[in-house]
Amino acid sequence: MSYRGPEFDALQSRPRRSRRAALTVAAAALVPGALLGWLVYEAVGGSEGSGGPAGQAAPAPTGADPSSPSPSAGSPSASSTAAPTASRSADKPGTSAAPGAPAPLKGKVVVIDPGHNAGNFQHTADINRKVDIGTGLKECDTTGTSTNAGYTEAKFTLDVAHRLRTLLEQQGATVKLTHDGDRPFGPCIDERARIGNTAKADAVVSIHADGSAAGNRGYHVILPAAVHQGAADTRPIVGPSRDLGERIAGNFLRVTGSAPSNYVGGGTGLVTRKDLGGLNLSTVPKVFIECGNMRDSKDAALLAGGAWRQKAAQGISEGIVSFLRG
């Protein structure tokens, strides 16, 4: 997903924190115990480069998925060696329930929203139709971005969504997807919000990968701002959505070893926005996660790997489990 609009322009214009300051803020705001994950990340390449202009257009997809899941990559225990933490943001890891044990998420409903759709490229007129998001009008959907090698965001998000669904169902949750690659395009952003609302979901997570400039690296979780305008009223969900987002961000750092974004969020891995229809129109706790930047070669190499995508799903799952168990 790319960034455009006055809110992001204002965010980009703020003075950039130093790399050391960003690390300090990330550690304080997320999970002190996850610092080991950051150090591992630095050891294998670290975050680099300065923030450049975001929102680079995605090339048309080649249809090639550079990595498909293998049995070892799909194992729910991919994060078994991750650093432990005592922080609220990364407690109660979402490992599979033991046979015969009560399912910890029984009765809970989780909606997973895989960002974009592989068919959007062939339906530009449909996805360019404007819908009301409360604060104004916005395109029904977008094509999303892709790596330089042509691995699309839509393929990435659907793959992670499938992995995440499996992990959450192992915990006893009822899991619904906003789409499963079974429709020609979309759904539109207002419909994506309605699906979570209609399901009375206990948590909704929209999965994305960013399309920012090369050198911009790391993940970030997008939280809903307090919006009360038109059909949008996020005031009741701002607090629980932040709780959900903090727990996902902390567990994602711990399990994947990836660093928080070095170009938005001031090193915290958290960003608040009011220009996303999927958040504005939600009446249940909901966040977006940008798992990395597809336009950076180092992040792209991670996102294209099946083993890393399993870790990403595991980190998100553990954050959701922590939130739902309280």
Name residue 275's amino acid.
D
DSSP 8-state class, residue 260: B
Q: Which of 153, 191, 246, 290 is catalytic?
A: 290
Structure tokens at 97: 């329930």
Using alpha carbons, select from 26, 41, 24, 22 the residue that is nearest to residue 82. 41
Q: Is 242 helix (H, G, I), strand (E, B) or coil?
A: helix
Contact partners, residue 297, CB within 8 Å, separation at least 6:
148, 214
Question: Which alpha helices (H) appear in 16-89, and where do they start and end?
Answer: 19-29, 35-43
Round to whole Å and give the CA distance between 278 and 85: 31
- Give CA separation, 193 vs 25, 88, 138, 280, in Å: 31, 27, 14, 8
Q: Which long-range contacts (CB under 8 A, 24 or more apart) does 77-84 make?
A: 78/255, 78/307, 78/310, 78/311, 78/314, 79/254, 79/255, 79/256, 79/311, 79/314, 79/315, 79/318, 82/37, 82/254, 82/255, 82/257, 83/33, 83/34, 83/35, 83/36, 83/37, 83/254, 84/33
β 286-293/220-224 pair status: antiparallel
Q: Does the active-site annotation cover 318?
A: no
Amino acid in the structure at residue 244: L
For the annotated catalytic residues, the residue numbers are 290
